[in-house]
Chain A
Amino acid sequence: MAAESMASRIFVAPIRDRILSPIGSYVGRSVHSAGYTMLMTCEAIIKIPTLLNWRNFCEFLRQCYLAGIQSLPVVFLVGLFVGMILSLQSGLTLMQFGLERFIAEITGAALTREMGPLMTAIILTGRVGSSMAAELGTMSVSEEIDALRIMSINPVRFLVLPRILATVIMMVVLTVFAILIGIFGGALIGQAQIGVSYDMFFKGAFDVITYKDLYSGLTKAAVFGLLISMISCSEGLRTTGGAEGVGRGTRRAVVNCLLYIIMFNYIMDSFIFLFVYGR
């Protein structure tokens, strides 16, 4: 009996308290968080018709400006340099085989299918997702969300819906912009360092992009926009614990956004290759 009790104290209790209990608690929190985020998003989608109200539509336009127009400079710079890097790297390799004329095709396809949506999503996670989580988090800890509830104003309709819709739409618009700027950046390097003329580069890049590439890339962009806004808003609305809580919530929002973007990128690529390209 005594030996059994000692074994329990030495082996069972530490495993239970230090391993199983934290794992269980983490899984419980994650399931709760995922459930909350999904319900919040469904509620926001159901409330889309409320945007027909002029005041709500104005808030949607304001969010489009914050998420989209204000992100243009950074998307421009990142898009330009990513296009230049793609062109340079592929050019250096293809030059060894005398195939440098194909850098336009590689740059165009890579930007449309992969790099355009992905880099725009990463920029919007840092610029828009973090700011949404911090803003809604600050509103939560300063009782502004409670004040809305008491005034019978649904925070999901009032705060979350315009942000989700604006992020999804602006993500698609910014992705198109990033792809175009990336191709332009690639063309600059093609002309200056690889020896491919502008005409040849633009013709090659735009010829290789098919409708399938375009809509699969833009579908990915829309899904990334949805992920960024729903995760950030959900973290913001669930923030507790003052300034420290806002910091914690913002950090969690950014990390989760990046993780889910990368995971969904792979999952969507698999589906796109299977169902869109039939491979």
Chain B
Amino acid sequence: MDANGNIVISFENAYKTLSGRNVLDGMTFDVRRGETFVIIGPSGMGKSVTLKHMVGLMRPDDGEVIISDEGEGGRVRYDVSHLKPIQLERLRAIFGYLFQDGALLASLTVGENVALPLFERRLHVFREKYGRRNAENKIWERVREKLGMVDMVHAIDNLPAELSGGMRKRAGLARAIIHEPKIILYDEPTSGLDPVMGTNINRLIRHLQEKLGVTSLVVTHDIDSAYYVGDRIAMINRGRMEQIGTPDEIKNTTNPVVRQFIEGNIEGPLTAGRKH
């Protein structure tokens, strides 16, 4: 399937059951290198679980989740179901992950949170490149640069408890991109943000894709954001893909489930049999 080397994430008939419920029920889709792939869908239908499978936080009960990476030694293929700890570590180094609520460590300041992946995992790289004396300064320079991208430099010494939800999310985004990952996973990047900051984050997602060639996978409920950032949009329903298409194809879809979701109608196949 990825013979052309263009597929970086591939789900092949993935199944996952949690608390007796089929959260992934034959999930199949591919994400191409350098694209922004948006997943939309109702709450509790497996969007966040899909993201967690990509970074090995969860493993499929059946089926395959394959991540491909072009490393210095050639092409590397990670089968998430059968990864050893060292491979899992290498796989995770490819990813940046923005959590829904930022997931900042409460005991560290914003700056320390953002710097954490570099101090814990990349300090030796900085020391080799800039020397022992300059390594820490260079890390803090990088931290200020990434916080600047999300307009959060002023809060570098604040604790997460002193920030609003939106600010925590922006700091979380700075932490997700601090190690300049090849793939960024965004879990609800614009929820809880004011419209101006939401647009700012959407632009940043596009910027990272266009300027740095980052592959992005965005899970969102925000349809306008999906149309703006997405090269392709996929709708998940009941643990499988309902439809995958370009923003125009999704806007003009005749699929009643997708139509109901993007138009926000109360009546329709999505809510049939559910009490309102």
Contact = CB atoms under 8 A, between A and B. Distances in A.
B117 A153 contact: yes
Given A55-B119, A150-B57, A151-B116, A143 B92 contact: no
A144 B104 contact: yes
Of listed B55, B99, B103, B104, residue having the most chain A CB within 10 A: B103
A207 interface: no
Interface residues of A, number: 15
Given A143-B99, A146-B57, A152 B105 contact: no
B259 to A, nearest CB: 33
B95 interface: yes
A191 interface: no
B267 interface: no
Contacts of A147: 97, 99, 103-105, 175
A151 B57 contact: no
A155 to B, nearest CB: 11
B105 A150 contact: no
Interface string A129-161: 000000000110011101111111100001000
Contact of A142 (B92, B101, B117, B175): B101
Nearest to B179: A151
Nearest to B100: A143
Of the listed residues A142, A143, A144, A151, the one surrounded by the most CB atoms of chain B closer than 10 A to its CB is A151
Nearest to A59: B107
B93 interface: yes
B57 A152 contact: no
Nearest to A144: B103
Contacts of B106: 138-139, 144
A152 B89 CA distance: 6
A151 B92 contact: yes
B120 A151 contact: yes
Interface residues of B, number: 21
Interface in B175-225: 175
Interface in B66-106: 89, 92-93, 95, 97, 99-101, 103-106
A152 B121 contact: yes
A101 B124 CA distance: 65
Nearest to B178: A151
A55 B139 CA distance: 15
Contact of B57 (A55, A138, A149): A149
Contact of A152 (B92, B99, B104): B92
A143 B168 CA distance: 13
Given A143-B103, A144-B103, A151 B119 contact: no
Interface in B119-150: 119-121
Contacts of B92: 149-152
A147 B120 CA distance: 13
Contacts of B119: 55
Contact of B120 (A138, A139, A153): A153
A23 B117 CA distance: 44
Contacts of A142: 101, 103
A152 B95 CA distance: 10
A158 B112 CA distance: 14
B105 A151 contact: no
Nearest to B89: A152
Nearest to B98: A147
Nearest to A146: B57
Interface string B28-66: 000000000000000000000000100101000000000
A147 B113 CA distance: 11
B104 A150 contact: no
Given A149-B92, A153-B116, 16 more contacts: A142-B101, A142-B103, A143-B100, A144-B106, A146-B52, A146-B103, A147-B99, A147-B175, A150-B57, A150-B95, A151-B92, A151-B117, A152-B120, A152-B121, A153-B120, A158-B120
16 contacts: A138-B106, A139-B106, A142-B101, A143-B99, A143-B103, A144-B106, A146-B57, A146-B99, A147-B103, A147-B175, A149-B57, A150-B97, A151-B121, A152-B92, A152-B117, A153-B117
Nearest first, the 9 A-B pairs at minimum CB distance are A147-B103, A143-B103, A151-B117, A152-B89, A150-B97, A143-B99, A153-B120, A152-B92, A144-B103
